[in-house]
Amino acid sequence: MTGRTDQLRIGVGLSSMGFLLTGLGACIAMLARDLNEPTGKLALLSSAFAVGLIVIAVVGPRLLQSWPLTTALRIGSLICAVGAVLLALAPTYGVAVAGGLCIGLGGALLVLVAPLVLRGPTAAARLSRVNAVASAVGILAPIAIGAVDSFGPTGRLALLAAVPPLVALAVVKGKAGAEPLRGEPSPTKAAAVTIALGWLRVVLAVGVEFCFVVWAVARLVAAGLPMATAALLGSAFPIGMAVGRAIGPIHWRGWSPVVPAGLLAIIGTLLVSLFDAPAAVTIGLVTAGVGVAPLYPVTLAALVATPGLNPTRLAAIGALASGTAILLTPAALAALARVADLRTAYLITIPLITLLITLSRRHRPADRSTRRHNLHTRRAPADRAHRPLDELAPQAPQND
């Protein structure tokens, strides 16, 4: 896969996965109704994606040393498609769980492959673009599920809309050239510290994002809205995410893009937490979505660009970070909500964002960075390992 073909195939895969992931949350209530199961029991399905990420993070590097990236992309797409069919048609709880796990495993493989396929000087911009499309497609899932549920036997059938593009992605072989990625020497101690910090930054970015993804509708219900209206306005956060990822990382006066994005996310969080008017909460969700949107692409691109370790292992570390965040952070917010209330619990995202900003460092101006690169093209890997992650992250030009 080369050039724009890479971006198109990854965009199709991540968009389909985004539709399924967003739809997974919307389907929980319908599964409870259709299968006559407690909602709390079916809420465990939202952890399937995180479990898949962690499993693929463990076994993925070994698989990608023998599989071409195109093969991994096709297998991940096929597993996702199978999961969509199982979840849409599930007659029992066990089949529904199997469908959720397939979506998690297949989606995790797509997430692992995406930064490897798009890595390079414009990785952050390209990841932001494909994630923007995926976010936009994800907005359609609750709308489609609600519409199908109104006129059909169950809204879960709307998940079948993701099957044709996933099957097409699995069947179409794509261009040759994405050969297996081979190993590299083990990282130095300095590089290991840098990688650990990169892992933590991805955990923080994804954790903040999924606090909003999982609990936005519940916050609107707590503000006094009926469930149907809250579900509709819950799309405010993914709409903000789509806008933020369409804009892409903002490079301002040499600062890391994490800084302005994080500050905007804090403003949105304060609106969501400190005000109880539904309009203010909705505006806060949109604002937070715009701010949170670039955090994951930027931190992941920086992690994958870290020298001293094979990009496959770095992408797997990123997948492990995402899985860890999705499992732990929304659950921590829920635990706080049981002690206080959901409105107060949302403030947990502010220290997470603040820590992420603290771990991000200033970029050197582009001309100085270029001159340093030209003067030190023979810099040893161990020396490069001391450079901050944001200096190593691919810079996103306005047009590429």
Domains of the chain: 1-182 (1.20.1250.20), 185-400 (1.20.1250.20)
Q: Could you tell me if 108 and 49 are in contact, meaning their C-beta atoms sit under 8 angstroms apart?
A: yes
Six token digits for residue 344:
């107060």
Specify the 3-state DSSP secondary structure of 200: helix
Tokens of 210: 């999924």
**C-alpha distances out from residue 39 to 43, 328, 393, Å:** 6, 20, 42
Q: What pLDDT does residue 395 have?
A: 40
Q: What pTM was computed for the model?
A: 0.71
pLDDT tens, per residue, the chain with 400 residues: 456 777 788 889 989 988 888 777 667 767 878 888 876 677 667 677 788 778 888 888 788 778 888 888 999 999 999 999 999 999 998 899 889 889 888 988 888 888 777 766 666 677 777 877 887 888 888 778 878 887 878 888 999 999 999 999 999 876 544 455 555 555 667 777 888 899 999 999 999 998 888 788 778 888 988 866 777 787 888 889 888 887 877 877 778 889 999 999 999 999 999 999 999 999 999 999 999 999 988 898 888 887 767 777 777 888 888 888 888 887 787 778 778 888 888 899 999 999 999 998 654 333 343 334 334 433 444 444 434 444 434 443 333 3
CA distance readout (Å), 399 to 237, 248, 250: 27, 11, 13
What pLDDT score was predicted for residue 330? 73
Alpha-carbon distance 373 to 395, whole Å?
14
- Structure token pair of residue 136: 């936009």
Question: Scanning the structure block, which residue is given the tokens 């496959």?
Answer: 312
Q: Write out the DSSP string of 132-176.
A: HHHHHHHHHHHHHHHHHHHHSS-GGGGGGGGHHHHHHHHH----S
DSSP 45: G
116-57-304 Cα angle (round to 5): 35
Token pair in block for residue 397: 């030009």
Within a 10 A sphere around the Cβ of 378, how many other Cβ atoms? 6
**Segment (H or E) for 355:** helix 349-359
